[in-house]
Amino acid sequence: MKLKTLTTAMILATVPMTGAFAAALDRSGQSISAFLQPGNYFEAGISVLDPDVSGKTITALGGQETGDMAGDYYFPSAALKLQLTDHFSFGLLYDQPFGADAEFTSSSAFTSSLGNTEVEVDTQSLSMIFGYQPTENWNIYGGGVYQTIKGDVKLRGTAYGGAAAFGGYNAEIGEDSAVGWLAGLAYQIPEIALKASVTYRSEIEHTVAVDESSVGSGMLTAIMNNPALAGVSATGNTDITTPQSVNLDFQTGIMANTVAFANVRWVNWKDFSIRPYAFGVASKLAGPSVGKPDGFDLVAYTDDQWSANLGVGRKLNDQWAGNISVGWDSGAGNPVTTLGPTEGYWNVGLGVQYSPTPATFIAGGVKYFWLGDAKAQSGSQFDTDSYVAEFEDNTALAYGLKIGYRF
């Protein structure tokens, strides 16, 4: 079964994933498929996500409707791959791997359950990859990853203890950069469009000085504004470590002009947490009253994320190709943080690709997500069955566009 004719009109890697409303802060999926394309290759794309996430607080907090709290967002990506010799290749991959954008709105910040709570987290990543191909079939690769992170968080409302506790907390995470690494192995048989790869990405450790304050009142507020009141240093750094992950990608020809593909991803969110310095000092004082003598985190997760995407792509003619896919994401535990209150998803996607010349293409895709129901909890409730709101029957729509060029 010869499938070489697929290489210009049906390229699995070129159909955009259209963004993922994935577990925890996972956003881009961190694909390295562009680096595994044959020859010299360039691509650039953008993904847009339009989620609709709303819920209702528990009766003890007034049974309030939250309204749509998930903000729309977009993120770009780009990749350059050079085949330097028959045996050595080099690539640069840019993406925005992790992020969050959520906002609860209310006319009264301290009398409502979640009113005016906001979170925004942005990351950027540049991977520099070197590959060695001892034969046509094998590719051994690895390299460094440069990553930046920044963010803003505002907690408001009785769900966080109100103005006398954490219901007036602010944190501004100034942009910080750090480095990590990746390594992987790929195997291919071009004649039958078979390609398999496994890629490991390390965790990346950031140490930042978070600008923290509180607009509330009371002892805990005073300590968040000045930790020295608790007998500790007035300032301190905060560690934020983005998680390690493994991506497994596979494709193979199943009949003339048709390929099947699968992607599986694991992300180690169970070991991820954020505890800003002043917030942590105050949480140690408040912790014993909620059964947490060592304090609690601003954000944390109980489970690792597993996700999978399965589909079929078909060449329609020399210029047009398309695919259909289904996807699943496990989520990162339930109950989950109020700053991202969904538990995984199911999705279905459609993609189309147009190749005006053998060297160029334009690809587009759309995905519809059924988001998993979740119970949302504050940091002080982490790793318990307690929660402050329930989010059910939520959805998201994602779009993507990508252009590519072989040279």
Nearest to 139 by CA among 174, 88, 79: 88
Phi/psi class of residue 193: alpha, beta or left (left: φ > 0; alpha: ψ in -120 to 50)?
left
* pLDDT value for 64: 86
Model-level pTM? Answer: 0.94
* pLDDT value for 378: 93
* pLDDT value for 86: 96
* pLDDT value for 157: 87
Residue whose entry in the numeric block shows the structure tokens 């794309």: 45
* pLDDT value for 112: 66
What residues contact 4, with CB distance under 8 A and at least 6 apart? Answer: 190, 191
* pLDDT value for 124: 98
* pLDDT value for 111: 46
Environment class of 356 (CB within 10 Å of its CB; exposed 0-12, middle 13-18, buried 19+):
exposed
* pLDDT value for 20: 64
What percent of the chain is helix, strand and coil (3-state, nearest 5)?
15, 50, 35
* pLDDT value for 164: 81
CB 81 within 8 A of CB 11: no
Query: Is the residue at 1 inside a domain?
Result: no
- Residue 125 belongs to domain spanning: 6-406
The domain that holds 385 is classified in CATH as 2.40.160.60
Report the C-alpha gap between 211 and 208 in whole angstroms. 9
* pLDDT value for 106: 61
Query: Is the residue at 239 inside a domain?
Result: yes
- Amino acid, single-letter form, for residue 1: M
Q: Return the half-sphere exposure (C-beta side, CA atoms, 13 A cut-off) of residue 383.
A: 14
At CA 252, angle to CA 250 and CA 256, rounded to 5?
Answer: 155
Residue 110 tokens read as 């301290």
pLDDT, tens only, 43-75:
999 999 999 999 999 998 888 888 899 888 888
- Cα 106 to the center of its chain, rounded Å: 27
Report the C-alpha gap between 124 and 343 in whole angstroms. 24
Low-confidence ranges of the chain (pLDDT < 70): 1-20, 106-112
Q: What is the dihedral of CA 29, 266, 128, 19, to 10 degrees?
A: 0
Report the C-alpha gap between 10 and 4 in whole angstroms. 10
Query: Is the residue at 402 inside a domain?
Result: yes
Residue 393 tokens read as 């029957």
Nearest to 169 by CA among 218, 101, 237, 235: 218
Number of domain units in the chain: 1
